[in-house]
Amino acid sequence: MADIRQPDELVLLTGNIAENWRKFRQEFELYMIASGHDGKPEKQKVALLLHVARKQAIDVFNTFALTEEQKADYDVVVQRFETYCSPKTNETYERYMFNSRKQFQGEAVEQFVTELKIRAQSCNFGDLRDSMIRDRLVLGITSQRVRERLLREEDLTLGKAVQICQAAEISERQIQTIAATVDGDASLANNGHKEGKRKWTQKLQVENCWVSFKLDTGSDVSIISEQQYLKLKPTPQLEKSPAVMTSYSGERIQSLGVCRVSVRYKKRKIATFMEVVQDECRPALLGGNDCEMLGLLKRVHLIEAGRKPQNEPMKEEIKKKHSQLFRGNGALPGVHTIVLKDGAKGVIHAPRRVAVAKRPQLKKELDRQVKLGFLAKVDEPTEWVNSLVIVEKANGQMRLCIDPKDLNKEIKREHFQIPTKEEILGKLENAKYFSKMDATAGFHQIQLDKKSSMLTTFNTPFGRYRYLRLPMGICSAPEVFHKTMHQFLEDFEGVSVYMDDIIVWGSTEAEHDERLEKTLERLTQVGLVLNVDKCYFRQAELPYLGEVVTQDGVKPDPEKVQAVTDMPTPTNATELQRVLGMVTYLGRYIPNLSARTAPLRSLLGKDIEWQWNAEQEAAWIGIKEALTKHPVLQYYDESKAIKVSSDASKDGIGAVLLQETKGEWMAVAYASRSMTTAEKNYAQIEKEQLSVVFACERFHSYIYGRRVLVETDHKPLISISKKQLGDAPPRLQRLLLRIQKYDLVLEYTPGKYLVIADTLSRSYPSKRTESTTESEVHIHVCAMKSGLPVSERKWEQIAEATANDEELQRVVCCMSDGTVVCPKPYLTFIDELSIVDGVIVKGQRVVVPRSMRTQMLQLVHEGHMGIEKCKRRAREILYWPNMNQDIYETVSRCDVCQVHRYAQPKEPLRMHERPNRPWAKVGCDLFYLKQKPYLLTIDYYSHYPETALLASETSGQVIIHLKALFSRYGIPSTVMSDGGPQFASAEFQRFSEEWGFDHKMSSPYYPQSNGLAENGVKVVKRLLTKAAEKGEDPYLAMLAYRDAPLNNGKTPAELLLGRN
């Protein structure tokens, strides 16, 4: 008997106390019978009960007002525990909990029904118990297909419903088993483990350290422990993490921060972000995206509904036979000319700031593309200079783009006749096999003539460059590429070109293969390079032009109606009213609409209890089916006008493609998805732009190459789309780049008219959404942040101060959902603001909270520079309302600055020709400070000053210091001096001849001709004097001056050294 295990401790302070007591009592009574204690005296049974139930139960027992006689009565004690643990049930609440229960993903039908029966016990359903459980089973089951089968069944009983569900469940398991057997080895990429003993772990090189990772396809993030993080050398910078992480069990995982690291597996290397956690016992996890990017996992067994898996053997065979088609960069014969409209005037954009830390990588990428023949250096004047936009890829590499918004306005489009979808699909009438090919960076394979190339000139910190190939973003590019490919393949039978897609078909396998072989040979001859990942060969069915071409003919693509078919069932009257609004908007072609929606509208009556039963579910399914079929859903027609309507709600995005039919806008395709956790934290304008990107990419096959109207109910989006890319906030900048290839015209439409898009954005499918946009945007934002001269500690201080700033918190609320009125100083540019790790940024400038502005003013005025210098320095990275005025008042109130301000009027300076490179021409002058001689040397190109304390006022001392400078920065072509005795001596003349520089002297009676050096003396003397009076470090004062922007926006250090 001693081996019989006692029940677990009775828990009475947490969880469902009534359920805990019910289970404990049942287990305890079974234990008493099994152990032979059921026949013991009452007092002994009470003692055993309290002993087994343990501490919490004993504490509760001591609160019972019982006599000694009652404390020894087992039945009385049990009844008191029953009363304590089982409060009176709320029937309305219990029924709500019952009707809220849905089958969990992966939950067996038997478990689901058992849970429903348990919940029904406290609902007092009486004779209706089985019918209520049956209805909840029908409505709560996860399989839409099984639900439809149950709704078609007449006289459905609970037992019959359970039988049908279990049969479907068994069939599904059998199908999966068969599919797994047929598919073969769904192996982890070459991990070397035997079948059945495969461990989902992999050792990877993170920076210089080897770490064993558990591969977790369900994780959105990759995780390492703090101990593993500290082993990385050099230790990556740890930044504040926006992620909220929970384990599979729901446990909250605390992140110490996020760091960016390089990870290597075999020959693959990526740059990614790792969350650092404190728990040393938690294994390192590699998220799904990182697994895929490293090639550790492949989506080779993911089969979409109605789609066939890829023909991998044939693809490998083609790659070997036509290897030239899949390597290199490609260059099609001939050159393209970009034609401008008559009277077009060039636009020259000012250079945009590039973070100093990013410049070496930028220069390397520019040199690489010059070597590949994509770019060329420009040294001559050009009428057009575009802005450079840098995008960081997930693997840490750079992608260079231009912002040709102004150029596109002046380009004369080539209106080449593009075949309609009906013309192409009509040729596929007897086709049984299909192949589709896509070019690698297709536009980059079209070469430009010299004149057109000059139009694509863009500026960089290293000078101007121009594209030798057609760049992404040129509005005429789609039809140019289509025209070029059409000319190469127009005589081929069984081949069609539509924009950037090439399709080959045949009525038999032999005919298809013969046509495909001829096509591949022609593409090799013309020098085209294909993207192997986007090529599909010898398929029985294939998605093409928004449809699915199959051996049985053309079928609608289920993706274009998935947003409606997967729309979740309404759970309250508000959600139902919203959906019925969309149905009414589209329902003019639905027969008997009023009768079909009657069961749904019956729930909207006043004082009607919400009860969604089988009648409502049947009506709901019927309505969704009607919305996804003709005539409500129109067939796409290229000859008709189209527009895209998109919208974003708090947690989802929705869109619809509309086509003008008989004066009315009718739906062609629907789309919606939930937002990821990170996307839910975007500002409202960023969510709205995200919905536009989602709509364009989902409807790509319909809108690519056409000018398309896009409706949005967010007015600021209109103005931001007209600005230069560099002026947009970082997240918007990356999102705008995603749709640069489309020809869009945004139009404001009040929200009350965006009925369909609004409904889809709020009634999105509940399944987890994969988003490639989120990671790209996050990388772009992090790159922007890392380029700012703000330490991580200072960033955290600003974020904390922002959180405590009442005015800025109102700005944050306004950005997030618009529910709070925006403070007036920020109202005019609210669309230019973004939030990065708790800090508000305006473009690439940090918005400073009120509590930190005094501190920032002190930093800006460090070195006691003048008003204009301080303004230019602050404008580089800081912003707050009235910042210029605050700087003016700060400098004006500075006692040291007032004592040493210039009293005499400025004399006109003799103008020197500015050199074209750093350190080509320098000026020298001697000055005295506190009766000690100093030598000033200043670069005419960068205005970078160097000072040296002289031991004596001789030519020898001057020469020693100049030799030190020339050995550090190089020998200048020209040295300017005022002709003083130290410079006019024979010794200095010999020095100039031996070192090979030209020495020019100004008149001793007209020192202004060496004006830069004269002015430099004044500046340096003031800096050193102010530093001495304030007890500050003179070297820091010189550093502040060298790091302050000049009139051209660049600092002396940046111009001379290439860095700040």
CA distance 932 to 260: 51
**Mean pLDDT of the residues in the chain:** 81
pLDDT tens per residue across span 544-578: 887 888 888 877 777 777 788 888 888 888 888 88
Q: How far is CA 723 from CA 272, 564, 716, 718, 844, in A?
A: 31, 35, 11, 9, 15
- Residue 221 has phi, psi (to 5 degrees) of -130, 160
Q: What is the pLDDT of residue 14?
A: 62
At 304 the pLDDT is: 41
Q: Is 12 a domain residue?
A: no
* Mean pLDDT within 257-286: 81
DSSP class of 655: E
C-alpha–C-alpha distance, residues 744 and 710, integer Å: 7
pLDDT reported for residue 594:
80
pLDDT band at 192 (very low <50, low <70, confident <90, very high): very low
Position 185 scores a pLDDT of 40
Mapped onto helix, strand or coil, the DSSP state of residue 136 is helix
List the structure tokens of 961.
């210091």
CA distances, 1012 to each of 577, 829, 918 (Å)? 75, 40, 15
Residues 895 and 1025 in one domain: no
Phi first, then psi, for residue 934 (nearest 5°) are: -130, 150
Among the listed residues 653, 651, 654, the one whose alpha carbon sits nearest the alpha carbon of residue 680: 651
Q: Which of 778, 809, 834 is the last residue of a domain?
A: 778
CATH number at residue 886: 1.10.340.70
The DSSP string of 390-420 is EEE-TTS-EEEEEE-HHHHHHB------PPP
CA-CA-CA-CA torsion sign (98, 103, 107, 112): positive
- Tokens 């840098």 sit on residue: 390
816 to 468, 674, 812, 862: CA distances (angstroms):
43, 17, 6, 36
pLDDT digits (tens, 9 = 90+) for 713-740: 888 888 888 777 777 777 888 888 888 8
- The 10s digit of each residue's pLDDT in 62-108 is 888 888 888 889 888 888 888 877 655 567 767 877 888 888 767 78
CATH of the domain at 732: 3.30.420.10
Choose one of 85, 105, 128: the last residue of a domain. Answer: 85
| 535 domain-assigned | yes
Q: What is the pLDDT of residue 644?
A: 93
CA distance 430 to 426: 9
pLDDT at 375 over 90: yes
Of 722, 764, 427, give the one whose Cα is nearest residue 568.
764
Do 728 and 762 have their domain in common? yes
Residue appearing with tokens 């859903």:
633
Nearest alpha carbon to residue 984 among 1005, 1004, 957: 1004
Q: Is 377 in contact with 464 (CB distance < 8 Å)?
A: yes
- What mean pLDDT do residues 676-688 have? 82
Question: Is residue 823 located within the same domain as residue 931?
Answer: no
Whether the per-residue pLDDT at 373 is higher than 70: the answer is: yes
Instruction: Copy the structure tokens of residue 633.
Output: 């859903």
pLDDT tens digits along 1032-1044: 888 888 888 888 8
Boundaries of domain holding 43: 17-85
CATH number for the domain harbouring residue 139: 1.10.1200
598, 867, 870, 643: which is closest to 742 by C-alpha? 643
Residues 6+ apart with CB under 8 A from 594: none
State the residue for tokens 């004596």. 952
**Nearest Cα to Cα of residue 495 among 428, 556, 542:** 428
Residues 446-455: b if buried by 16+ CB within 10 A, e if exposed: bbbeeebbbb
Element containing residue 544 per DSSP (H, E): strand 541-544
pLDDT by residue (tens digit) across 637-657? 878 889 999 998 888 899 999
Q: How far, in Å, are 179, 186, 292, 744, 990 from residue 731 at the CA level? A: 42, 37, 24, 19, 60
What pLDDT score was predicted for residue 467? Answer: 93
Residue 811 has pLDDT above 60, yes or no: yes
Could you give the 3-state DSSP secondary structure of residue 139? helix
Displacement of CA 270 from its chain's centroid (Å): 17
- What pLDDT is attached to residue 888? 82
pLDDT in tens, 301-326: 333 444 444 567 888 888 888 888 88
Other beta carbons less than 10 A from residue 413's beta carbon: 15
Q: Rounded to an integer, what is the distance from CA 611 to the centroid of its chain?
A: 41
Domain termination site, one of 232, 264, 293: 293
Residue with tokens 């019989």: 4
Q: Per-residue pLDDT for 411 more than 60?
A: yes
Q: How far is CA 596 from the centre of its chain?
A: 42
Q: Do the strands 974-977 and 945-949 form a parallel or antiparallel pair, or are they unpaired?
A: unpaired
299 domain residue, yes or no: no
Structural domain includes residue 916 = no
Two tokens, residue 260: 């960016």
| Confidence bin at 128 (pLDDT 50/70/90) | confident
Cβ 498 vs Cβ 419: under 8 Å: yes
Indicate if 397 and 447 belong to the same structural domain.
yes
Q: How many independent structural domains does the chain possess?
A: 7
pLDDT of 178 reads 53
70 and 136 both lie in a single domain: no
Residue 124 binned pLDDT confidence (cut-offs 50, 70, 90): confident
Same domain, 970 and 1007: yes
CA distance 611 to 615: 10
Q: Give the separation between CA 344 and CA 340, rounded to whole angstroms.
A: 6
Q: Is residue 196 part of a domain?
A: no
Q: Enter the tokens of residue 989.
A: 């003349």
Q: Are residues 643 and 677 both part of a single domain? A: yes
Can you give the length of the chain in residues? 1060
Element (H, E) at 679: helix 677-680
At residue 378, the pLDDT reads 92
Confidence of residue 6 (pLDDT cuts 50, 70, 90): confident
Distance CA 514, CA 504 (A): 10
SS3 assignment, position 502:
strand
The segment with the largest mean pLDDT, out of 247-261, 817-831, 965-979, is 965-979
Six token digits for residue 446: 């079209």
Residue 485, in any domain of the structure: no
Tell me the pLDDT band of 887, cut-offs 50, 70 and 90.
confident
Q: What per-residue confidence (pLDDT) applies to 567?
A: 84
For residue 771, name the pLDDT band (cuts at 50, 70, 90): low
Q: Do the Cβ atoms of 441 and 533 come closer than 8 Å?
A: no
Residue 9 lies inside a defined structural domain of this protein: no
Q: How far is CA 847 from CA 731, 843, 869, 875, 876, in A?
A: 16, 10, 20, 11, 12
- For the segment 462-500, what is each residue's pLDDT rounded down to a tens digit? 889 999 999 888 888 888 888 888 888 888 999 998 877
What average pLDDT does this structure show over 850-877? 81
Cα(130)–Cα(467) distance, integer angstroms? 73
Q: Exposed/middle/buried for 250, CB within 10 Å: 0-12, 13-18, 19+?
A: exposed
Q: Is residue 593 part of a domain?
A: yes
In one letter, which amino acid is 350? A
Looking up residue 239, the CATH number of its domain turns out to be 2.40.70.10
For the cut 70, the answer to whether the pLDDT of residue 754 exceeds it is yes
> Is residue 350 within 8 Å of 460, Cβ to Cβ?
no
pLDDT at 197 over 60: no
The pLDDT score that the predictor gives to residue 781 is 60
536 shares its domain with 618: no
Are both 566 and 707 inside the same structural domain?
Answer: yes
Specify whether 242 is located in the same domain as 373.
no
Task: Report the distance separating Cα 875 and Cα 846, nearest Å.
Answer: 10
774 and 722 within one domain: yes
For the stretch 950-1008, pLDDT in tens is 988 899 999 999 999 998 899 999 999 888 888 888 899 999 988 889 998 875 444 45
Q: Are residues 262 and 399 in the same domain?
A: no
Q: What is the DSSP string of 708-764?
A: EEEEES-HHHHHHHHS-GGGS-HHHHHHHHHTTTSEEEEEE--GGG-HHHHHHHHS-
